[in-house]
Chain A
Amino acid sequence: MTPKNVPYIFILPAVTFFLIFTVYPVISSLLLSFQKREGSEYVFAGLENYTRLFQDELFYKALGNTFLILIVQVPIQLFLAVVIAVALNSQLVKMKSFFRIAFFMPAITALVASSIIFMIMLDENYGLVNYLLSFVGIDPIAWLSDPFWAKVALMAAITWRWTGYNMVIFLAGLQNIPGSLYEAAEMDGAGKLRQFFYITVPQLKPIFLFTFVLSTIGTLQLFDEPYILTEGGPNNSTLTITLYLYQNGFRYFDFGYASAIAYVLVLIIGVLSWAQMKWAGEDK
């Protein structure tokens, strides 16, 4: 044992686990995506899973749903997160730590529990939400069994969960902006709104990029909420890519096909993340 190799011994356990639980499944899943099962044997099927995937209407539908959620929900969520973060960073708000914890809480709540609460609240016939709406004279909405409203309900559940999480990241970013910038701007006669757009927003750019990439990845892998809330229904209107992957793997036992879906998803996420970083010009 020399001082040179000691560090390697320290990281050995972590690397071993990484190899067994990450690298090995990654490779075996890639191999699986080129196989299909005949009886209880796996046989090589070439690109069959992939060609089938590109002709699969349901896959495109899942892709479409996922991107729709991405395009509509992520901006809403990040906008809300910034607004809340700025508010909680201001000197005017009292009980800051209470609000911070309150907003962050959903992110650490068990996904299944929160989804079930949403399910109960959004029930068409007995849910709290429709009950409250009835006071203002709105007819019951089929939150989970109407194709349009099911998407809305799903997005609401995700927004509820992740806004606070992003808020904390923005908050950290806000606190890193030197106060002297604001002082200087004030002396030059810039109002609060100008300060926000000319100091806060540009200073937060790397944070925006970070949260945007994270949210994109998170949305593309969206599974728990649609799985529990809607099971992808009605008529697949809330089917996401990972849910489709799960169905093929664990309901239909089509592991080869499921692996192919996984790899196409990996490719999409990789390309998107790269494009976002390229577009944001992160070259520091």
Chain B
Amino acid sequence: MKKWLSIFLLVGLVAGVLSACSGNGGGETSGENGESGGEPSGEITVWGWNVAAESMELAVDGFKEQYPDVEVKVEDIGRLDVYEKLTVGLASGGNGLPDVVLVESDRLANYQEQFPDALTNLSEMGYDKHEDKFGEYKLSVTQNSDGDFFAAPWDIGPTGVFYRTDIFEEAGVNPEDIKTWDDYIEAGKTIKEKTGTNMVPVDIAKDDALYRMMLNQQGAYYYDEEGNIDVTSEESKKAFEVIKQLNNEELILNNDGWNGVVSATVNGEVATVPFGVWYTGTIMDQAPDQSGQWGVFQLPAFEEGGNRAANLGGSDLVIPSSSDNKNTAYAFVEYFTTEVDPQMKALEEKGIFPSLNSTYEEDFFNQESEFFSNQKIFKLFADEVSDIPVANYTSDYSRAFDTMSDTQASILLDGKDIETALQDAAEKLKSETDRKISE
């Protein structure tokens, strides 16, 4: 009995534990074959999530006007599911993958470097002719080291500081006076004193978004351009010094998770929220009664006159090499990312900000937004795009993201010294990634 039971238990356990490592790509098959080389035809499947998937759905009709013989099936399968299925699919040589997949810009390099042959080289299909339609930042995330496109640039997340005009007014702070992070901290102190409102929500333990924006605006990131670990850089220290000071002055409202940040925003518990342009949609959705009480200014600089442009978020489209209808997939991707019409639909209806430069000429960008105190907010974000510094996300982005969120928690919650915390983080990344620490 004893022996039998232990063997049974062991086998059961092994199976249980391993079910986490095995996995199944799911039964989705990509559409019927299109004739290669000829006119795009046949059916393709596209994966995306919520508003992004809806935006692609919006583009289908326009696409079919150009190519009547095609069918496009857009599937909204959830952001994390996309990644999970994409990972498993690529690792198993393309099983069960669709013809087009949406991937966030900061995760792209991860897939491209880990599975170099698994994504279709779009340059070979002719995407190079669109190269000058996008800003430098966007090219840097969608091209590989040889300058070939492995993804088609789509949306981008220029950053800004969303602020409550009524709270600023009550405290007597003029947002135009906030030019540097020091000004920002001073303004925060005044606001806290006069109104009792915190300055900024941060999900300290799980998200280092503020730190990432600060790195990007200074032209730095987790890794330098050679891919060496760069978290001990001067830029990185400066960023954490500002964040720590905000925390010491009790200007940070610690939130748990995305929902916490959103609640804090709409409940008026914070006076500002520095985030990507996509946050406009969230605010308008969640706090429709606060119309006219919001405004936007650019991220404060680190020194007077310094760069105030940065990127947070954004996504791009890839075509897995396993697609058996690449021709049609490419036609869709090209239509969706380089024609003005689908971009503007996505922006106007779903709040997704295009990276295609020619869209910024559209009238829409000169419109005043009633919700944002009649500011031309989209113009503000569009003007910023060309100044966004390049960031090297690399294949080890996720590790760095986790490590730096932990580091943020250890600095702000456990009071760890910045220098030591960054040194420890760099050492940890070094042992995990086999990368060098930059000098």
Judged by a CB distance under 8 angstroms, whether B290 is at the interface is no
Complex CA distance for A125 and B15, rounded to whole angstroms? 41
**B9 and A273 contact, CB distance less than 8 A:** yes
Given contacts A124-B254, A266-B14, A273-B6, contact A252 B409 (CB under 8 A): no
Q: Across the interface, which residues of A come within 8 angstroms of B117, CB to CB?
A: 40
Complex CA distance for A37 and B90, rounded to whole angstroms? 13
Give the distance to chain B from A54, nearest Cβ to Cβ, in Å. 12
Judged by a CB distance under 8 angstroms, whether A250 is at the interface is yes
**A221 and B16 contact, CB distance less than 8 A:** yes
Interface residues of B in 361-399 (CB under 8 A from A): 395-396, 398-399
Give the distance to chain A from B223, nearest Cβ to Cβ, in Å. 14
Judged by a CB distance under 8 angstroms, whether A170 is at the interface is no
**A245 and B20 contact, CB distance less than 8 A:** yes
**B410 and A235 contact, CB distance less than 8 A:** yes
In the complex, residue of chain A having the shortest beta-carbon distance to the beta carbon of B13: A269
Q: Across the interface, which residues of B come within 8 angstroms of A283, CB to CB?
A: 2
Most chain A C-beta atoms within 10 Å of own C-beta, residue among B9, B256, B409, B413: B256
A side interface size, CB within 8 A: 56
Judged by a CB distance under 8 angstroms, whether A259 is at the interface is yes
Interface residues of A in 157-180 (CB under 8 A from B): none
Judged by a CB distance under 8 angstroms, whether A255 is at the interface is yes
Interface residues of B in 204-223 (CB under 8 A from A): 204-206
Q: Annotate A218-257 by CB proximity to B: 1 below 8 A, 0 otherwise.
A: 0001010000001101111000001001110111110100
**A39 and B413 contact, CB distance less than 8 A:** no
Judged by a CB distance under 8 angstroms, whether B148 is at the interface is no
In the complex, residue of chain A having the shortest beta-carbon distance to the beta carbon of B24: A21
Q: Across the interface, which residues of A come within 8 angstroms of B16, CB to CB?
A: 217, 221
Q: Annotate B109-138 by CB proximity to A: 1 below 8 A, 0 otherwise.
A: 010001111100000000000000000000
Q: Annotate B242-259 by CB proximity to A: 1 below 8 A, 0 otherwise.
A: 000000000001111101
Q: Annotate A17-34 by CB proximity to B: 1 below 8 A, 0 otherwise.
A: 000001001101100100
**B269 and A26 contact, CB distance less than 8 A:** no
**B260 and A125 contact, CB distance less than 8 A:** yes
**A221 and B409 contact, CB distance less than 8 A:** no
Judged by a CB distance under 8 angstroms, whether A129 is at the interface is no
**A252 and B399 contact, CB distance less than 8 A:** yes
Interface residues of B in 20-59 (CB under 8 A from A): 20-22
Interface residues of A in 119-171 (CB under 8 A from B): 119, 123-126, 142, 144-147
Given contacts A235-B410, A235-B414, A251-B402, contact A144 B2 (CB under 8 A): no
**A29 and B205 contact, CB distance less than 8 A:** no
Judged by a CB distance under 8 angstroms, whether B87 is at the interface is yes
In the complex, residue of chain A having the shortest beta-carbon distance to the beta carbon of B396: A252
Q: Across the interface, which residues of B come within 8 angstroms of A217, CB to CB?
A: 9, 13, 16
Q: Annotate A101-132 by CB proximity to B: 1 below 8 A, 0 otherwise.
A: 00000000000000000010001111000000
Judged by a CB distance under 8 angstroms, whether A74 is at the interface is no
- Some 8 contacts from A to B, beta carbons below 8 A apart, are A40-B114, A144-B205, A145-B204, A246-B20, A250-B83, A250-B87, A251-B399, A265-B17
